[in-house]
Chains A and B, each alone.
Chain A
């Protein structure tokens, strides 16, 4: 690099503050749902429309920065794919059906915990009150800059608008609903947000052979297991972060929320630094070899390699068999830097069609030892090439933009993925290897569990038991509570410490 990066300016359009869109005509989101035939719903739709007209608080995603706009179509999370749909006895309603959503938000969603998580204390503060929420409504309209003083107000509005999902943005310096009055002054600017990571299996399409696009299975989920291990280890050991929650994204990926107090207030430069530190697989489809690393390996990479090579044999070579055909094996050959070695391997494999990836991987060492490589290509060069290949096939592929910006929005934990009906539950790292995305409860399944419970238990037991406790959502909510309590305890400790320091200053 001719310049070191601290000299490079950050992207100016990205740095442009989100601007509310004033051009009313360009807001297709205003169109009310035409398919309503029920009076109650009709009323609700009108209410929404009124709210929009009077407060102007309806904004579609399209008023964010230009780059974010261009993002929209790549985010195909909303597509509905019935193949993953698990039929339950709660009729065959779609997960996004308003009645299903109503019951979910009313009976199952952990509002109080969500509030405590974002508020960092039991009594309402600006951490929660000035936090942006963004709702995706049933008609796909996107409402930004929503904010709420308390958990209950949030819950009420969610039940009124019945979003199919909602996202969490930053804490602002003022109430997001007042941003218009504040204009473009610095009085309205994002102050804090958790550091987030987004890993999605679609970014592994060139290395997974079992599924593609929105589909996943337990074989390819292993890539996610590896990714979580590597990123989590770096965040805890290298940066010393403690409050990290991993959440299943509802279909084919996972999100991480790093919630330590000093992480939340990090500016974009620091977020970029962490993102860059963790990013290893670079370049687009045309870049050829995508892992290029200095030797000796940085301690983070050496540790990652240790974690990943365990998985490489089993989860890549055996499960994915990525170089089974001649054509696919060319990709492997392309990653080996020595022509002589490549030629020897190619002729060996041409003579044995159908040779497994496991064998082909072993062939590299065997052929090398037999002396079929050029002299300048020594054992060290071979080892390094093989390390790069392991990393290219297993190292976490992060959607890095999510991590770089303080004011990026991310889907809330515990909302329902409208396509699969699955709840975005926290992933227990202590049992990471056992996490099965296909076993994650669906909203329809959970509602059925409540009904079943009501049928089975006696009247006595029913009293005092919350609906979520009757379902398989319970362990996830318990886990979330543990996590939230950990944060609140820490913040309380620092608050007390600060108070003491202040007192001692006075004397």
Chain B
């Protein structure tokens, strides 16, 4: 690992320098791109125009933004690839050597340069770095997957990764049983080319028990090579971004670049960040502690379950409280009311216990206390579906998470029935969504079902645009839309009555 570090060190200086070079003292060096895939090890050195600089970055950003949206909507890799094809063709095409395209060099240069420009734009904060690494790795993985087999092999060989060794024939015999357990049923050990690496190299495979471990060595089937290469890509990018971040303050402000870079990073906002405290109370809504029971009819299954659990048990475990508090903050419940809500909700706690153990947490969630950055940021943002689906799955006795994902079908059915779903075909649809891991679709399905009258009305009257009715990917959006639709219906009903 350290060796990579050392190796990238001079490159970082290049990242810094090239911008000056490319704009200040023109010099021309033609980069060579023997492969379609790129680990982005060398920083660009040739000149491009300011227009290219901006346009290429924006094009790549479109691709990354769309990729991230696919993951927020929990699309499978295959669905993502289908969805992304036209976008990639338009904004960031990358042909194989065998295509004999005349644009190879230009395509690859754009891919190379736009990656490095976005590194500068997204190195500044940990959050941006994390997201950039994540989507860039997704992009790399997708391209790796679709790459021509022999060209891919040439690319991997060219990486000179010296940290894997082939598993010997003796080892294959010795661990025949263990290795066989790692393969799909019809395959035999001989069908696979096995690699042996330090387990630290393939933490994701270890985590999912997709490799056999022996004394710290992971025996990796050849088909997992992709995973190893992608993880190497991710690791290197993470490191390089940190180096870039440390170098950023030393980049003297290039007047022409700074606004572009700032603008780029601002355009990469996450759905998580789009719900801040107090900003989303629907107009005229009575968002108070006393009214939460009533408002809970507008909650998505995850929050509805938390609310029910709290009312039933008089308690929620920590992640449940966190997820629910942030949601309530997001629907516009102010801090005072939120404290009232929890004081009443945690009914087995004495005032003293509440003040000692819970009050601070709620205030922290609202950004009233805590470190500077917490207070400045107004506390944490309400959790998005993506976050709820993928982070901290509920453990024993915990009620947080996404019921569509974390409940079994029986318990899920009970929950959605209590939310007003009694239609068998809808229930069947939910089951299929769940089986196909499309938890969002299940949630949106329930939403559409319980609001079908209102949605039809809204569409008929043209009061809500198609845009306002697209897939929900945030619990707070679920609430807001539900609230608006129901009240829209009420208003309309009132008008009709009067008329």
Contacts and interface: CB of A to CB of B under 8 A. Distances in A.
Interface of A: 1-13, 15-16, 19-23, 26, 28, 62-63, 66-67, 69-74, 184, 186, 203, 206, 237-240, 266, 269-270, 272-277, 282-289, 296-302, 397, 400
Interface stretch (B5-13, B40-48, B102-110, B389-397): B389-397
Nearest to B323: A70
Interface in B295-347: 317-319, 321-322
Interface in B224-281: 227, 230-231, 234, 246
Nearest to A276: B207
Contacts of B358: 73
Given A2-B76, A284-B394, A296-B181, A67 B322 contact: yes
Given A4-B204, A8-B390, A70-B321, A15 B213 contact: no
A275 B134 CA distance: 22
Given A284-B394, A284-B396, A69 B360 contact: yes
Contact of A273 (B74, B177, B207, B390): B207
A12 B403 CA distance: 22
Contact of A6 (B75, B181, B234, B403): B234
B284 interface: no
15 contacts: A2-B437, A6-B203, A6-B234, A16-B373, A66-B380, A67-B319, A70-B322, A273-B206, A284-B399, A286-B394, A286-B406, A287-B411, A289-B408, A296-B181, A298-B212
SS class of chain B's interface: helix, strand, loop or mixed? Answer: helix
Interface residues of B, number: 79
B168 to A, nearest CB: 18
Interface string B198-228: 0110011011110011111100000000010
A283 B319 contact: no
A276 B208 contact: yes
B365 A66 contact: yes
Contacts of B71: 3, 7
Contacts of A8: 134, 390-391
B369 A269 contact: no
Contacts of B357: 72-73
Contacts of B214: 237-238
B126 A15 contact: yes
A365 B361 CA distance: 52
A316 to B, nearest CB: 17
B127 A269 contact: no
Contacts of B131: 9
A10 B130 contact: yes
B256 to A, nearest CB: 29
Contact of A26 (B203, B363, B398): B363
B203 A273 contact: yes
Contacts, number: 188
B216 A70 contact: no
B191 interface: no
Most buried by A among B215, B371, B372: B371
A288 B260 CA distance: 52
A300 B369 contact: no
Contacts of B393: 282-283
B199 A67 contact: no
B182 interface: yes
Given A272-B203, A283-B393, A239 B213 contact: yes
B369 A26 contact: yes
A394 to B, nearest CB: 15
A290 B58 CA distance: 46
B411 A288 contact: yes
B77 interface: yes
Interface in B344-398: 353, 355-358, 360-361, 363-365, 369-374, 379-380, 387, 390-398
Contacts of A285: 396-398
A284 B408 contact: no
Nearest to A11: B391
Most buried by B among A5, A239, A286: A286
Given A22-B372, A67-B319, A62 B360 contact: yes
B138 interface: yes
B208 A5 contact: yes
A6 B395 contact: no
Interface in B125-141: 126-127, 130-131, 134, 137-138, 141
A84 to B, nearest CB: 23
B356 A28 contact: yes
Contact of B322 (A66, A203, A400): A66
A300 B215 contact: no
B412 to A, nearest CB: 8
B164 interface: no
B32 interface: no
A338 to B, nearest CB: 16
A206 B199 CA distance: 35
A22 B374 CA distance: 11
B475 interface: no
A478 B313 CA distance: 47
B360 A26 contact: yes
Contacts of B319: 67, 70
B371 A19 contact: yes
Contacts of A71: 318
B494 interface: no
A6 B204 contact: yes
A23 B207 contact: no
Contact of A63 (B130, B199, B370, B387): B370
Contacts of A22: 371-372
A7 B141 contact: yes
